[in-house]
Amino acid sequence: MLIKLSELKETEPKREHGDIESLKKSIMEIGLLNPLTINQENKLLAGRRRFQAIKELGWEQVECIMLTSENILFDFKVAIEENLRRKPLTDPENAIAISEYDKLKREIEGSQPQGKHSSLSQNDNDGWSQQKTADDLGVSHTSVVYAIQIAKAVEEKPELAKLKGTQILREIKLIKQREEIKTLKPIEGKYRVIYADCPWNYNDKRDGHTTGAEDHYPCMSIEELCNLPIKELSEDNAVLFFWVTSPLLEECFEVINTWGFKYKTSFVWDKVKHNMGHYNSVRHELLLICTKGNCLPDSKKLIDSVQSIERSDIHSEKPEEFRKIIDTLYPVGKRIELFARKQIEGWESWGTDDLL
């Protein structure tokens, strides 16, 4: 049926429509292939981008399919299934619709008690579950979980609706990480020897997915690292042993200088095993030695600057041999390890229970 555009009602709240220009060009070239889906009140259930495109093209009327079912859940299901045929599940509009469907079913059926196995079948009469939403809509349970996370994030921060679903999932993770960083306990005391393996934020992603460090622990930006009170917590004469990877070599000096230290030299950790890299196959990492005031080593022993030690399979774990090198060169003074993975005798640690 043909319906005047002025009589159609968009679903609220209005959301970002995505790339309208390419859709407009396609419609001008080959026409509108699929009608819009509306209910009996002329409310748009599916086809928001197409509606926006033809409105901008100046159309006065459009072909529509009207759903006559009085069951709003059926309307929802039909709209979602149509969207899934047109666009990826991770599109925020689809995710929001799936989340709303799950919410409405729970209001009607009641929620499944906590602890129930997610694989319970659709025929069980003990409340609604995410698995039942997945079964009802013909999608995976994981897709429903992600859809609910995306919908919640967009509700709290509407500007996220401009992103792809995978990018929104990444933002959810980064927001959580930033909140965890805020809970870090204060660093106290004065230290002569500081050992730091910072949780660098690489801003490295593929189609919105986190990669590397962000999959293992909360990461910190250069600004957040600079804001740590290391300058005030180090003695007038102090040494900093500072881990950094090659991609962050340039940026790391902003942190080092802000903390009040100056670069002197470095150790190279030859990991033996190779790692993925953008420009080469990376098998090394750098341990920079930086000083504040006058802090030459206590020992005159010269240790080889290249240490070939096969890396473990634990992400970002550093060999204990390097701590022994530090203790050999600087046996005197109060020492602290930042972002420590475990408590070591003779060392104070910060980050063991707070971040990693």
What CA–CA distance (Å, rounded) separates 213 from 83? 34
- The single-letter code of the amino acid at 187 is I
Of 97-101, 200-204, 313-317, 337-341, the range with the highest mean pLDDT is 337-341
Is residue 112 predicted with pLDDT exceeding 80? no
CA 353 to chain centre: 21
Q: Do 202 and 251 touch, CB atoms closer than 8 A? A: no
Q: Mean pLDDT score of the chain, rounded to an integer? A: 79
189-224 tens-digit pLDDT: 899 999 999 988 765 444 333 445 444 446 788 988
CA distances (Å), origin 131, targets 7, 234, 310: 38, 54, 44
Q: What does the pLDDT average to over 226-239?
A: 93
Q: Please state whether the peptide bond connecting residue 13 to the residue before it is cis, i.e. omega within 30 degrees of 0.
A: yes
Q: What is the pLDDT of residues 1-42, one digit of tens each?
A: 888 888 888 765 444 545 678 888 888 888 887 788 777 778
- At 36-87, the pLDDT tens digits run 877 777 887 767 788 888 889 999 888 887 765 445 566 566 666 666 555 5
Q: What is the pLDDT of residue 85?
A: 56
Euclidean distance between CA atoms 171 and 233, whole angstroms: 33
- Locate 245 and state its tokens: 């990877």
Contact call for residues 229 and 187 (beta carbons, < 8 A)? yes
Which residues share a beta bridge with 65? Answer: 37
Q: Is the pLDDT of residue 120 over 50?
A: no
For residue 352 the two structure tokens come to 């063991």
- Domains of the chain with bracketed CATH: 1-68 (3.90.1530.10), 73-80+87-162 (no CATH), 182-350 (3.40.50.150)
Single out the residue of 106, 101, 100, 135 nearest to residue 120, CA to CA: 135
Residue of higher predicted confidence among 40 and 303: 303
Flag whether pLDDT at 299 surpasses 60: yes
What b-and-e string marks burial along 38-74, b requiring 16 or more CB atoms within 10 Å of the CB?
A: bbeeeebbbbbbbbbbbbeeeeeebebeebeeeeeee
Q: Residue 355 has what pLDDT?
A: 43
Report how far residue 175's alpha carbon sits from residue 47's, in angstroms, rounded to the nearest whole number. Answer: 31
pLDDT of residue 264: 97
pLDDT category at 253 given cuts 50, 70, 90 is very high
Q: What is the pLDDT of residue 80?
A: 64
pTM over 0.85: no
